[in-house]
Chain A
Amino acid sequence: MRRSLVLLSAATTTSVVVALLLALGVGLRERGEEQVMVRVSVEAQNLVTVLGDDTDPAGRSRSLSASEESVGGVQALVVAPDDAVVLGSAALASGSTPSSSAVQAARERGQTVVLEADGGRLLAAPFYTGAGTEVLQVTVPDERLHRGLLRAYLVLGLLGVTLVGLATLAFARLGGWFLAPVRELAVVSRALAGGDLDRRAVPGGPRELVDVAEGLNALAERIRELLAAERERAAEVAHRLRTPLTAVQLGVEGVGDEQERQRLSTLLANLAHEVDAVITTSRDPGSGSSRVVDAREVVAERVEFWTALAHEEGRQVQLTLPHTSVWVPLAERDLADVLDVLLDNVLSHTPEGTGLHVALSRAVAEDDLVRLTVADEGPGIPSPEVALERGVSGGGSTGLGLSIVHRVVVGAGGEVEVGSRPGGGAMIRLRLPPARPEV
């Protein structure tokens, strides 16, 4: 934009300056010619007065030469009534010839005439001597008419270039003053669109842009308020759900069939968990915009939590983490839930003393996915279906079975693989797409 603004200004200024300079150039040329001709005609008037009175040929010749020199660059000659050239040998020598039309016109009109001629102008001034009407003819060549004009043109050209340069520079500066706030607005708009509702534009530049910046800030504030109100409403609705949920839970307790009661209780526990999740996500100011977490940190924290029990049960816990952060597109709470389920499963379904391994690795070139593996040294599992089954129904009775792991991981664009560890034992491997780190 700044480039186009500068180009536009350069084009505009150039056309204006060129038009101005053309007019100025033409005017300058005409004015120059006029000045030269005034000078020539004044000198000619003086000269004819002298020539009319002087009869001495030598004296007349001197007067003529002096006049020629005084004006400079012109050739003068005098034509007698019989059309013979009586004075101006120098003029004749340098190629000047008497113009019969000019001489004729001067004689007939009895006054000075100026005619355009090839390569210049002719001035013919009649004067009376004893012998009759003689005519002084002065040839003013173009070169004399336009002397000094080239320099004037050069000066004008230079002036034009300077003007265009200055205007372009001014526009570049002005563009910066204009565009810096526009850029700021663009950056802030993008940040807001990206969910960073805390970003605000610093108003700057012309009044109108200050207005736009203030408008954008007000808009961001409004969006945040609306979003907060909307979240609050969602949380409120979820809260209200807890009352009927309680009624249902109390009702389920009255179900006679033990197995059916257990089944309904598990379903209800899942429902309650979802309602809690809605409230937490709505209330947690960070989770709305940032569903990105450093898996390395969460894995380390959850493994440490479960290690307390693992050590009590005589289990070796082997944790392999990369040296730097590994960002994945999950809310911290969701990833923590996933790890809790996986670690709980290992501890619940293997004998005490069984070692467990947790490994996190950053995205590998093969498929560009982050890998999180939870494996144990237990007896292993006959088939993945059984593992899934045990996570869903039997052991995962906190209501957070492998179904939740599956939902969370697949929801984030990843996949869950249930299998066996090379040395025996169960292994659950999650593959997650990498996320861009939070700034």
Chain B
Amino acid sequence: MPHVLLIEDDPGIRTNLVRALGERGYAVSTASAGIPGLQQCIDERPDMVVLDLGLPDVDGLEVLRMLRAVSQTPVVVITARDGEGPLVQALDAGADDYVSKPFSSTQLDARIRAVLRRVATGTREAPITVGGLVVDRRRREATLDGRVVELTPKLFDLLSLLASRAGEVVTKREMATEVWNQPYGGTDKTVDVHLSWLRRRLGESAGEPRYLLTARGVGVRLVDPTSSD
């Protein structure tokens, strides 16, 4: 049972996350401010820290830097900020991944699992590589056979999600939740139209897929077209 330390000052989020993550099989301890959180991280040695960047005592980024000075525990940050600036800052300061408010527990769970998986396979720092496709989340850049793929923020997030779970079928519901933070009713085409553009950007089509395989009626699977399986 992975041990998650949640450093979050909002009691509403804290209570609900303890319940939701508990239901998903995590052991959760909490801290409501940065300094006690740091102390707990040192004392409890959790498998994962979920850190809110807006804390009452110390700025979350500062907490992250202090944490990195003493520990290599993986960190997923929670941010209420827009834009890529704060995200890049957080990633540069040593965060492994992030979720933006408002988010669902499914989203956070997916991030935590992906980070834990990368830690387990020792590929935590490296960009995700699938065949000729390289997705660098830290630089928010994707390259295909060495050439940069022009992507809008949403398309990058979508590709990043598919790449983090390469080989797995990712359902449209998951994509709607993770990328758009919207409940998916099963009929709307926002996800489809973005997948369609992602195919175009990757130089393929639904008729002649290479990386993006459609699991009809279910979702999409990002695969390495050069691999035999």
Could you tell me which A residues sit within 8 Å of B by CB distance?
239-240, 242-251, 253-254, 262, 265-266, 268-269, 272, 279, 283, 305-306, 308-309, 312, 340, 344, 347-349, 394-399
Chain A residues with Cβ under 8 A from B184's Cβ? Answer: 397
In the bound complex, how far is the Cα of B180 from the Cα of A279, in angstroms?
17
Q: Is the Cβ of B102 less than 8 Å from the Cβ of A312?
A: no
B92 at the interface (CB under 8 A from A): no
Of the listed stretches B142-150, B162-170, B192-200, name the one at the interface; the rest are far from the partner chain: B192-200
Q: Is the Cβ of B105 less than 8 Å from the Cβ of A396?
A: no
B186 at the interface (CB under 8 A from A): yes
Contact pick for B182, options A248, A347, A398, CB 8 Å: A398
Chain B residues with Cβ under 8 A from A246's Cβ? Answer: 10, 12-13, 78, 101-103
Q: Is the Cβ of B183 less than 8 Å from the Cβ of A395?
A: no
Contact pick for A268, options B19, B101, B102, B176, CB 8 Å: B102
Given contacts A348-B187, A397-B183, A397-B186, contact A243 B197 (CB under 8 A): no
Contact pick for A398, options B78, B80, B104, B176, CB 8 Å: B176
Contacts A283-B82, A309-B193, A348-B189 known; 6 new A-B pairs at CB < 8 A = A246-B12, A246-B102, A246-B103, A250-B16, A398-B182, A399-B183
With CB as the reference atom, state the residue of chain A lying closest to B11.
A247
List 10 A-B pairs, minimum CB-CB distance, nearest first: A397-B185, A247-B12, A250-B16, A242-B101, A265-B183, A246-B102, A309-B196, A309-B193, A308-B196, A245-B102
Q: Is the Cβ of A305 less than 8 Å from the Cβ of B102?
A: no
Query: B105 CB to closest chain A CB, in angstroms?
Result: 6
Say whether chain A's binding surface is mostly helix, strand, loop, or mixed.
helix
In the bound complex, how far is the Cα of B54 from the Cα of A251, in angstroms?
20
Interface string of B95-117 (1 = CB under 8 A from A): 00000011111100000000000
Chain A residues with Cβ under 8 A from B206's Cβ? Answer: 312
Given contacts A306-B193, A397-B186, contact A279 B16 (CB under 8 A): no
Q: How many residues of B contact A (CB 8 A)?
A: 39
User: Could you list 25 examples of A-B contacts with CB < 8 Å?
Assistant: A243-B10, A244-B10, A244-B12, A245-B102, A250-B16, A251-B16, A266-B183, A268-B102, A269-B181, A279-B82, A305-B197, A308-B196, A308-B200, A309-B192, A309-B193, A309-B196, A340-B190, A344-B193, A348-B187, A348-B189, A395-B185, A395-B187, A395-B188, A396-B188, A397-B185
Q: Most chain-B Cβ atoms within 10 A of its Cβ — which of A250, A262, A312, A349?
A: A250
In the bound complex, how far is the Cα of B200 from the Cα of A243, in angstroms?
36
Query: B21 CB to closest chain A CB, in angstroms?
Result: 10
Chain A residues with Cβ under 8 A from B103's Cβ? Answer: 246, 249
Q: Is the Cβ of A309 less than 8 Å from the Cβ of B189?
A: yes
Q: Is the Cβ of A397 less than 8 Å from the Cβ of B187?
A: yes
Query: A248 CB to closest chain B CB, in angstroms?
Result: 7
B119 at the interface (CB under 8 A from A): no
With CB as the reference atom, state the residue of chain B lying closest to A268.
B102
In the bound complex, how far is the Cα of B16 from the Cα of A244, in angstroms?
11
With CB as the reference atom, state the residue of chain B lying closest to A272.
B102
B81 at the interface (CB under 8 A from A): yes
Q: Is the Cβ of A399 less than 8 Å from the Cβ of B196?
A: no
Chain B residues with Cβ under 8 A from A245's Cβ? Answer: 101-102
